């Protein structure tokens, strides 16, 4: 059995995942068969609701891909919902403070380490595997904080100091927008913010991540060489959009 995403992050290995926004189990099977270490179900910007989670998780698990979810917000109920459906990791958007991370970690872990509600669910096969699941999930679950504002950059040292946080993921568009520089990734102020993000991650030993939205294998290799370890590559809808093109009309593509 291959090492888990969490174990590989602890060894400072790069784990490559992707993003899913389309709530379709067949898409989940295809993404799961794509060789990714993890795939995040996007409940913040995608069309995925709680009712779709079990089938999407099954589709990813069928090929050994770890199912993660980006929740809509850092609420305790959102985290419980995705973990009960069988997700093995939680990506929390718009984290700006130590307190937000503490709340997310507590929501992801059963007592006494946290405050996750205890009950039968799909994650423990509706009670059949409850004892095994309960005994192991606290040390196996992955909690990732998305850094998406200049305020978060300013609070980064405190954020990464929270026990139980496994990785960071930067949101470059939101980060640049919070600086009044939407999409201006070459602006010196944005570059300085990214340098802070990278240096704090290296200094504090927390894996840093980012999302390569448009597939680019060379860029992926460069980011791994730069020290990024939790990397999302592409989105299901982007893979489809890039290839669902009539080649005879590609020149007029809008």
The answer to whether 45 is a known catalytic residue is: yes
* Burial classification of residue 72, based on how many CB atoms lie within 10 Å of its CB (0-12 exposed, 13-18 middle, 19 or more buried): middle
Q: DSSP label at 178?
A: H
Closest CA to 72 of 98, 104, 102: 104
The whole-angstrom separation of Cα 130 and Cα 42 is: 27
The whole-angstrom separation of Cα 203 and Cα 195 is: 12
Among 45, 63, 187, 211, which one carries the catalytic annotation? 45
Q: How far is CA 196 from CA 146, 204, 209, in A?
A: 15, 12, 14
Q: Which residues are catalytic?
A: 45
């Amino acid at each position: 059995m291959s090492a888990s995403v969490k174990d590989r992050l602890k060894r400072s290995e790069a784990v490559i995942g992707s993003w899913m926004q389309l709530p379709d189990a067949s898409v989940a099977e295809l993404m799961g068969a794509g060789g990714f270490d993890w795939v995040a179900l996007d409940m913040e910007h995608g069309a995925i609701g709680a009712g779709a989670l079990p089938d999407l998780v099954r589709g990813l698990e069928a090929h050994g891909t770890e199912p993660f979810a980006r929740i809509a917000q850092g609420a305790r109920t959102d985290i419980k919902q995705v973990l009960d459906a069988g997700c093995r990791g939680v990506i929390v958007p718009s984290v700006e403070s130590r307190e937000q991370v503490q709340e997310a970690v507590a929501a992801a872990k059963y007592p006494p380490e946290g405050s996750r509600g205890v009950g039968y669910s799909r994650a423990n096969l509706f009670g059949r595997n409850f004892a095994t699941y309960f005994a192991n999930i606290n040390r196996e679950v992955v909690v990732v904080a998305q850094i998406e504002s200049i305020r978060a950059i300013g609070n980064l040292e405190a954020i990464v100091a929270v026990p139980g946080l496994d990785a960071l993921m930067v949101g470059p568009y939101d980060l640049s927008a919070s600086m009044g520089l939407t999409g201006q990734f070459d602006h010196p102020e944005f570059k300085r913010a990214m340098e802070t993000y990278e240096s704090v991650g290296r200094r504090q030993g927390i894996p840093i991540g980012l999302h390569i939205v448009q597939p680019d294998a060379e860029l992926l290799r460069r980011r791994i060489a730069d020290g990024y370890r939790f990397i999302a590559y592409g989105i299901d809808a982007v893979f489809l959009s890039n290839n669902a093109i009539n080649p005879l009309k590609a020149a007029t593509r809008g």
